[in-house]
Chains A and B, each alone.
Chain A
Amino acid sequence: MKVSYIIALVAIAVGIGVILSTSGSTSEYVNFERAAALEKEGDDSEVHVVGKLPKNTVGDITGLVYNPLMDANYFEFQLIDHSNQQMKVVYLQPKPQDFEKSEQVVVIGKMSKGVFVAEKILMKCPSKYEDKEVKGV
C-alpha cells in the first residue's frame, strides 16, 4: 500500500473524529422540567436554560441573594423559563456585574438536589451594544 493512501486514510479518520466530537460536545436548550428529568435519569450533562428574572409590581427583581460579607462566592436567584416554571438557581461565584439590568438570562449547568447549579451565566442586556436611550431630551 502506498504511503499517500495511508496518510489519506489517517486524515479522513481524524476529520471524522473532529465531526463526531463536535456533534457530541454540543449542549441542549431545555426547560427546567427537562433539566430535572435529566437529573433523575442520572444524566449529568450540562444544559442551557433560557429564562427571565421575576419582578415585583414596582419592577424590581425579586429573589436575588448575594451577601458577600457572609460568602462572596455564593449568588442565588430565581429564573422563570419559557414554560413559566420558576426555579432557584445557584451560582458559586460572585454576582455578575449589572446582573439586574439583564432582560434575558441563559444559565448553563445542571439540576442538583432541587436547585439549578449554574456553571456559567450569559446575560442579554438590551442596552449593552445598542442603546436607544437619548440623554438630555
Chain B
Amino acid sequence: MSFAIGDFGHLSVIIAFFSSIVSAIAYWRYASGLSQTPDKDWLRIGRIAFYVHAVAVVAIVSALFTILYQHRYEYYYAWSHSSNQLPIYYMISCFWEGQEGSFLLWIFWHVTLALILRFVNKVWEAPVLMMVMSVQAFLTSMILGVVIPWLELKIGSSPFIIFKEAMPDLPVWSSNPDYIPEDGNGLNPLLQNYWMVIHPPTLFLGFAATIVPFAYCIGGLYQGWIKEWIRPALPWALFAAVVLGTGILMGGYWAYETLNFGGYWNWDPVENAVYVPWLILIASIHLMISYRSSGTALFWAAVLAVLTFLLILYSTFLTRSGILGNASVHSFTDLGLSGQLLIYLAFFVLLSVVLFYYRRKEFPEDSSEPSVYSREFWIFIGVLILSLAAFQVIAMTSIPVYNSIFSAFGWESNIAPPSKPEVVYSFWQLGFAVGIAILSGIGQFFWWRMAEKKAVWDALYLPILIALILTSIVLLLGWLQPNTGEEMSYWEMIAYITLLLTSIFSVVSNSFIFIKVIKNNYQLTGGAIAHIGIALMLIGILFSAGYSKIVSLNTTGLLYNKDFDTETNRDNLLLFRDAPETMLDMKLQYKGQRVEIKGWSGFVDKEQLLPTPNPYRWITKKALVKEGKSIFASGDTVELNPENTFYEILYSKANGDTFTLFPRVQQNPRMGNVVSPDIKRFWTRDLYSHLSALPLDPDDRQWSPTQVYTATPGDTLFINDYVVFFQKIEILKSLPGVKMKPNDVAFKAHMTLLGPNNTPYAITPTLVIDVDQMQTGSTVELNEALGVRIVLTEIKDIDQQKYTFEVNTCQKDYIVLKVIEKPGINILWIGTLLVVLGISMAAYRRYKEFILMRDKGMEV
C-alpha cells in the first residue's frame, strides 16, 4: 500500500498555502511602490510565487481526483464520498460533495480567474492579485490539515487524510492492520442528478467571480485610485452576477426536479446565503453604472461592491461552521473550522473598514440634491429597495447566529426559527418586488435621456395603459381568483394584483425601450432584456407559487380524521395497482413498478426480470422487444441500478388524452428512501407528481397463513375473493435465470388470476426437479396487483396430473401520491433565460470598453 499520491497532494496543499502568502506579500510590496518607482524584484517574486501556487492547486485537484477515480478507499475522502458502482460523471460530483472538495473547487476557480487577471491587466496586476492571493491564503488554510503540536491546534481539514487515521476506533485494525474497505460509502443519492454535476461548479465560479470587483475596489482604495477601479471592475461584476444568478437558478431547478417539497425555492438558509450577496451585487452594478455615466454615488458603489464579497464570506461562515445546525437541510457538517472561518471573515471586514475610513475624505461629495426627474435619483431608490430586500433575508436567516451569540454570553435562549418562514419572506419580498418592478419599468426611460417632466409622462402613459388593460383581462379571465377550496384575504388579493400590474408594466415599458434601442445598436439592449426577464420571473413566481394547487385530493378514508375535521389535510391520494381513481378531470391508474436497464431506453416492468445474487445484474423472463427488434432475449443478463424504482402512473383525461409519469423512489442503504417527482409539462402549467408513501417490501409484509390446494389442469380455484384458472402444465428443459443440468426437468404451471373487473393476470409457478440429486426447487410467483403468491410445491400424482400449490395473500400493491399543479412556471424559466442573456450582453459590452481604454494606455 503506497500513500505517495496522498502525500503528494498534501505537500501540494502546503506549497499552495505558503506560495499564496509569499505572492500576496510580494505583490503588496510592489503595489506600495507603484506611485513612485516600484521595485521590479517584488513583482518578479510575486509572479513566480503565483505561478507556483497555480501549479500546486492543479496538482491538488489532480491528486484528489485520481484518488476518487481509482477508488482508493484507503483515503477517507474517497471512502466517504464515492463507491464502486458510481458512473464516471458522478465521480465529478463526489469531488465537491465534501467540504474540502468544495473549498478546492473554489480555490481552483480563483486561480483560473487570477490567471486571466494577470494577463489582461497592466498596472492593475499587483493591487488586484495581492487581494486575490491573500484570499487564497485563507482558503488554502481551510484544507491544510496541519496540527501545530505545542498549541494542539488543528488548521484546516485535509482531503488527503487516510482512512485509518480518520477511523482509528474500528475493531478491524486489531485483526487486520492493513485493512482497506472494499467499497465506498457512496454519493448522496440526491446529488446523483445531472444538475448536480454542473450546479456546484457554476455556483462556485459565481462565488469566485465576486472577488474580482472586490479586489479592484480594495486595490484601488489602497492605491488611491478612488474612482478608476470602476471601469475594469464593472464587466467582472456583471460576469459574477450572471454566473452566480445562473448557479442559484440551477440549484432551484434541481430542487424542483429532484426534491419533493414541491417547488424551486424554499427559503432555506443555504439558498438565502447566496441570494443576499446576489441582490447586493446587482445593487452595486447599478451604482457603478450610475457613476460611470453621471459621476454620482461613488462611495456607495464601492461600499456595495465590497459588501458583496463580505456577504459571500458571511454565507460561507453560515453554511460551513455548523452554526445553522438543524435549521438547514443541506449545510455542510461541522469540521471544526468555525474559528478559522471567523478569522477569515473578520480579517477582510476589518481591512475594508480601515481602508474606507482612511480614504473617506477623497470620495467626491455628491452634488446637493438629486432631482426627482433625474435617473440617478431613481437608480438610488432601486438600490435602496434591493438593499432592504437583502437586509430582510439576512436578518431572518441569521436567527441561529443570534442564539449562538446569546449562549456565548451565557444567556439561556429558546428562540426557534419561525414555524412558517415562507409567510414572512413572501410578505416582505413581494412588497420589495413591486417596488423593483415599478422602478425597472420607469428607470429605463430616465436612462435613455427623457428626463424632462413632459417627456417622461409622454413616454410612460402608453405602457401604463397597456399594463392596465392586460391586468384587467387577466382579472376577467379569473386567473387571479383563489383556487377552489382555498381562501385568500383581501390584502393578499390586492398584493397579487399589484404585483401583476407592475410586472406587466415593466415588461411593456422595457419592450418599448428595447424596440427603440435596437434600431440604433443591438449591443445596448442588455439592460432592457434583463429587466424584461426579471419582470417575467416575477409574474412566473406569482402564478407558480401563489396559485400552485394540490390536486391529489383524497376523497376516501376519513375514518381517523373525525376529530380534526377543521384542519384535515387530504392532500395525498391512495392508488391501488390497476384500480383507477378520479382526480380533477382525469383518471389516474397506478400500473406497477418499473426499472431502468442499461442498453434500453425507457422503463422495464420489474416483474419481467428475475434477481440474481448480484443486485446490479438481473435476468429477463421474456424477450424485450422494441419496434419489432428484440433487444434482449429471454434469459439474458441485464444491468440496472437496484436503488431506483419508478412507479408508472397513467393519467387519462375525459377527452381521451393520456400521458404517463414515472415518479421515482431511490432506496439507498446510506440515505434511506429518497423520493423524486416526475413532472408533466404543459405550456401553461406543470403537473408535478411524487410518491408520499409506498408499501413495504414483500418480505416485510404481513402474509396470510399458507393455504394448500391440490389441483389438476382445467380446475378452477378460489383464493379469497379471486378466481384462478389452472390451464396446463408445461414441461421444460431450460428456464431463464436457472442453471439446469441435463437431467433436470421444470414443471411450469400456467394459471390465470382474475382480478377486479375481471382483469386477467397470468401467473406461472414453476417447480424444478433435480433428478440426479432427488431435490426440488420452486420459483415464487407473486402477483403484486392482487397481493397473491402461489408456489408449486410438489407433484402429488404425475399420472393423475395432481399438483400441490401453496398460496398466501397479502395487501395489494399500492402507492400514496401527491400531485401539485403549478401554473405559469414556464414564464419563470423564460424570464431567467432573458436575465442571463441580458446581463451577459452587458458584461461583454463593458469588457470591450475596458479593453479599448486599456489599449489606449488609460487603465487608471
Contact = CB atoms under 8 A, between A and B. Distances in A.
Contacts of B188: 129
B421 interface: yes
Greatest chain B CB density within 10 A among A21, A70, A71 is at A71
B428 A21 contact: yes
A14 B388 contact: yes
Contacts of B675: 97
A131 B564 contact: no
A72 B556 CA distance: 9
A19 B424 CA distance: 12
Interface stretch (A23-31, A35-43, A52-60): A23-31
B673 A120 contact: no
Interface in B288-306: none
Contacts of B370: 3-4
Given A26-B399, A72-B572, A93 B419 contact: no
A101 B673 CA distance: 11
B511 interface: no
A93 B814 contact: no
Nearest to B166: A132
A73 B384 contact: no
A128 B189 CA distance: 11
A71 B559 contact: yes
B415 interface: yes
A117 B568 CA distance: 11
B494 interface: no
A69 B672 contact: no
A63 interface: no
Interface residues of B, number: 64
B51 to A, nearest CB: 38
Contacts of A117: 564, 567
A136 B573 CA distance: 40
A3 B568 CA distance: 52
A22 B399 contact: yes
A16 to B, nearest CB: 11
Contact of B814 (A47, A69, A113, A120): A69
Interface in B605-642: none
Given A11-B384, A22-B399, A25-B424, A98 B673 contact: yes
B418 A27 contact: yes
Interface string A73-103: 1101000000000000010111101100100
B419 A125 contact: no
A18 B185 contact: no
Interface in A104-137: 106, 108-109, 112-113, 117, 119-120, 122, 124-125, 127-132, 134-137
Contacts of B167: 132, 134
Nearest to B692: A94
A19 B395 contact: yes
A131 B693 CA distance: 25
A34 B670 CA distance: 37
A30 B414 contact: yes
Contacts, number: 157
Contact of B414 (A29, A68, A108): A29
A4 B369 contact: yes
B844 to A, nearest CB: 34
B572 A94 contact: yes
Contact of A74 (B369, B391, B561): B561
Nearest to A110: B419
A70 B110 CA distance: 57
A82 B294 CA distance: 62
Given A4-B369, A21-B428, A28-B415, A68 B170 contact: no
Nearest to A132: B167
Interface in B381-406: 381, 384, 388, 391-392, 395-396, 399
Given A18-B428, A26-B418, A72 B557 contact: yes
B416 A28 contact: yes
B535 to A, nearest CB: 22
B674 A97 contact: yes
B183 A135 contact: yes
A93 B692 contact: yes
A130 B570 CA distance: 35
A27 B419 contact: yes
Interface of A: 2-4, 7, 11, 14-15, 18-19, 21-22, 25-30, 45-48, 66, 68-74, 76, 90, 92-95, 97-98, 101, 106, 108-109, 112-113, 117, 119-120, 122, 124-125, 127-132, 134-137
Which 10 residue pairs are nearest across A and B when measured between Cβ atoms?
A98-B672, A46-B419, A92-B569, A71-B557, A94-B693, A25-B418, A48-B416, A27-B416, A74-B560, A94-B692
Interface of B: 80, 167, 170-172, 179, 181-183, 185, 188, 326, 333, 369-370, 372, 377, 381, 384, 388, 391-392, 395-396, 399, 414-421, 423-424, 427-428, 554, 557-561, 563-564, 567-574, 670-675, 692-693, 811, 814, 816
18 contacts: A22-B392, A22-B395, A22-B396, A26-B417, A29-B415, A69-B557, A76-B560, A95-B693, A98-B673, A101-B672, A106-B326, A109-B419, A112-B567, A134-B170, A135-B181, A137-B170, A137-B171, A137-B179
